[in-house]
Amino acid sequence: MSVFELGPVERAAWEAALRRSEAWRERDAERRLRGVVHTPPELARAMAERAHAALIALGASGGLADESVHLVDPSCGTGTFLAAAHTVAGPGSAATRPWRVSGWDLDQDVLRDARGALGEAFSEAGWPLALDARDTLACDVELPPGGRVVVLGNPPWAARSENRGDARMEALLEDFRRGVDGERLAERKLGVLSDTYVRFLRWACEAVRSAEGGGVVSLVMNASFLDGPVHRGLRGALCRWFDGISVWDLGGSALVARMAGRDDNVFGVRPGVAVLTAWSRGRGAEDEQGAVRARVGTWRVRGTLDEKWAALAAWPAGEGAFTTPVAPLYRFGAGAGDEWPSDYVALPALMPFHQEGVQTNRDDVVVDRDPARLRDRVQRFLAGREDADLARALQEQQHYSPARAREALARAWAEDPARCILPIAYRPFESAYFVPVAPLCHRPRPALIEAMQQSELALVTVRKDRGERPWAHALAVRAIPDNCLLSSRSSCRARAFPTHGPDGAINLDEDVLAAWASELPQPPSAREVIAWALTWLMAPAYQQRFDALLKGDYPAVPPPLDVDEWREGVRLGEELIALCLVDHHARLPEHSDLGHHREARTPWGFERALSAASAFAEARFAVERDAD
């Protein structure tokens, strides 16, 4: 049962939203395409209260009802957020009224419902309400003279925006695509910064930054912006533009590995949900050199819906301490103020060639532990058979044609059948074979295949882990890894760092290595670097100390203090390598958590080797503490 008591106008807006939900049932595909998700009134109320408090702190004594404020809901639907704002700051709460209240939406019918729900109450209160059918991202907010803009709402939950290609919006988004040095981010997946919610956020930021008195952005969105490495430019920009940022991490993701216990999604969508409320004093507050000025507080809320509503009803008690995020990631999640020790080096800096593992999209056809059985399946597919075990390969999809897959496989098979079935590190201590031919195999990673054929082995870890379980994402493999080797979650793909690159060159950056290993009499080999790194990455003491940092980006590895420490670290790493490469057909007696695989079967002595690595790491940490 909700702990919020809805006001009459809130109830009217919510009842209109429920009627709209019923109307959408027969058009579910269109609803999903447009990203229509109705906001629970409990969430809208809490967000309105937070924005109201932020405005008062900025000096707008009337909060949302202050005469300096233009309140805008950029995707207003039936008016849930505007109703919440009216309840929080309306008659009986403030002696003033806002300069203007605007609700925009593309749907004329839903705006008609909003007028019916809000019109009378807003008119009686003297709140100047304007509900218009318009494309928000193509419009500017009218700025109150000397006043503030508040953008409050829930942008569409659609990945692809119809606004793509708009020159003005693309120019604005460039601010989110640049790192701390001002250069464009060298990221392959920058496309996520074109998602609809990112566009609405950028639009809202510009509206508030343009207002002489600043204002507030309060939006509920996909939580991926909190800690994604690709989103670091977005977070950095927010930290430069705003004086304070409050984040409510509401969880509920179906895409990450969770701890035990229930964690409901407030919308019923698959991604996690977060509320961002950011406030600015206005023009002139931003540092000309682009310095960070925001203090950020992140509040993690988990549990059932009722538990979340109860927490949000008491949000002032829930928000904890505010900290200054640290470059270059500017993370808003756990450990936002943490950073690696200055002498630790990120793994990609040491080993510049690395790539995500194989993504088949059709494991039941493309992968098998028995190469003979896999070969038989391939031959039946080439022969045009329609057997049940080939079903996934026979399904026509938007980006997959069975006919083209058969043609490509036939060419590859005729050229060299031996290269059409290769070993793969499929799961921890479970090797298998796969067909590395696209498009039957969605992403066979040919460059990584070449590198692995040149290499002794590879270190496998992850760049990002949005899971809630402790970080434990490291293994050594001899074959190319599957991208689900350490986790089946799409946000936590396995990435291989082989000893050699595709061209056969040693996979080490000589300049970085020389500075990092300056205490050694001679440069180490790539295998030694992997052994040393594996000791650290698999050590529970290291994993626990740096859990938040490890979940945010690539692992960083400490340099050796002296030759003796180096030799011991490499020795322990070689023991771990030997255990990681144990024949998967042997009976494995121990059980360990590896990545997101709980209780994975591991070889005898594996836990003992992890304990030895942990003791080694603890000894080094003690030296670092003494030095401080």
pLDDT at position 340 over 70: yes
CATH of the domain at 17: 3.40.50.150
For residue 93, the model assigns a pLDDT of: 62
Kindly report, residue by residue over 158-192, the tens digit of the pLDDT: 756 666 678 999 999 999 999 888 889 888 778 88
Count of C-beta atoms within a 10 Å radius of residue 593: 14
Residue 130, in any domain of the structure: yes
Residue 21 and residue 110 in one domain: yes
Q: Which residue has the tokens 């061209």?
A: 503
Count of C-beta atoms within a 10 Å radius of residue 519: 12
C-alpha torsion sign, points 458, 459, 464, 465:
positive
Q: Which strands form 100-105's sheet, in the order they lie side by side?
A: 129-133, 100-105, 69-73, 148-153, 215-222, 273-280, 244-251, 295-300
Residue 397 and residue 266 in one domain: no
**Separation of alpha carbons 432 and 356, rounded Å:** 18
For residue 1, the model assigns a pLDDT of: 46
Residue 17, in any domain of the structure: yes
pLDDT at position 35 over 60: no
* Predicted confidence band of residue 468 (pLDDT cuts 50, 70, 90): confident
* Predicted confidence band of residue 36 (pLDDT cuts 50, 70, 90): low
Residue 289 and residue 379 in one domain: no
Among residues 278, 301, 318, the one where a domain terminates is 318
* Predicted confidence band of residue 81 (pLDDT cuts 50, 70, 90): very high
Kindly report, residue by residue over 557-593, the tens digit of the pLDDT: 999 999 999 999 999 999 999 999 986 655 677 888 8
- How far from the centroid of its chain's Cα atoms is residue 254's Cα? 13
One-letter identity of residue 416: D
* Predicted confidence band of residue 62 (pLDDT cuts 50, 70, 90): very high
pLDDT at position 258 over 70: no
Residue 302 and residue 403 in one domain: no
Phi-psi region of 303 (alpha: psi -120 to 50; beta: other; left: phi over 0): left
Residue 450, in any domain of the structure: yes
One-letter identity of residue 342: S
* Predicted confidence band of residue 2 (pLDDT cuts 50, 70, 90): low
For residue 128, the model assigns a pLDDT of: 96
For residue 47, the model assigns a pLDDT of: 97
Residue 53 and residue 125 in one domain: yes
For residues 302-323, average pLDDT: 92
Residue 276 and residue 388 in one domain: no
Q: Which of 377, 382, 379 is nearest to 365 (CA)?
A: 377
Residue 340, in any domain of the structure: no
222: enclosing H helix or E strand: strand 215-222
For residue 601, the model assigns a pLDDT of: 86
Residue 330, in any domain of the structure: no
Instruction: Compute the mean pLDDT over every residue in the chain, rounded to the nearest whole number.
Output: 91
**Separation of alpha carbons 438 and 429, rounded Å:** 26
**Separation of alpha carbons 507 and 572, rounded Å:** 22
Tell me which residue range forms the domain holding 177.
Answer: 8-318
For residues 447-466, average pLDDT: 95
**Separation of alpha carbons 510 and 494, rounded Å:** 25
Among residues 299, 318, 337, the one where a domain terminates is 318
Residue 37, in any domain of the structure: yes
Kindly report, residue by residue over 211-239, the tens digit of the pLDDT: 999 999 999 999 989 988 899 999 999 99
What is the 3-state secondary structure of 470-503?
Answer: CCCCCEEECCEEECCCCCCCCCCCEEEEECECCC
**Separation of alpha carbons 484 and 356, rounded Å:** 10
Residue 249 and residue 350 in one domain: no
For residue 583, the model assigns a pLDDT of: 66
Q: Which of 501, 510, 458, 456 is nearest to 480 (CA)?
A: 458
Residue 284 and residue 173 in one domain: yes
Burial of 326 (0-12, 13-18, 19+ CB in 10 A): middle
For residues 323-349, average pLDDT: 86
Residue 598 and residue 509 in one domain: yes
- What is the percent of the chain where pLDDT is above 90? 72
Residue 314 and residue 364 in one domain: no
| Structural domains counted in the chain | 2
pLDDT at position 498 over 50: yes
Residue 25 and residue 102 in one domain: yes
Residue 216 and residue 353 in one domain: no
Residue 233, in any domain of the structure: yes
Give the angle 344-348-351 at the CA atoms, nearest 5°: 100
Among residues 318, 333, 368, the one where a domain terminates is 318
Kindly report, residue by residue over 347-390, the tens digit of the pLDDT: 999 999 999 999 999 999 999 999 999 999 999 999 999 999 99
Which region among 284-293, 334-343, 353-362, 430-439 has the lowest average model confidence (pLDDT)? 284-293
What is the phi/psi pair of residue 124, to 5°? -65, -35
For residue 374, the model assigns a pLDDT of: 97
**Separation of alpha carbons 480 and 443, rounded Å:** 12
pTM listed for this prediction: 0.77
Residue 1, in any domain of the structure: no
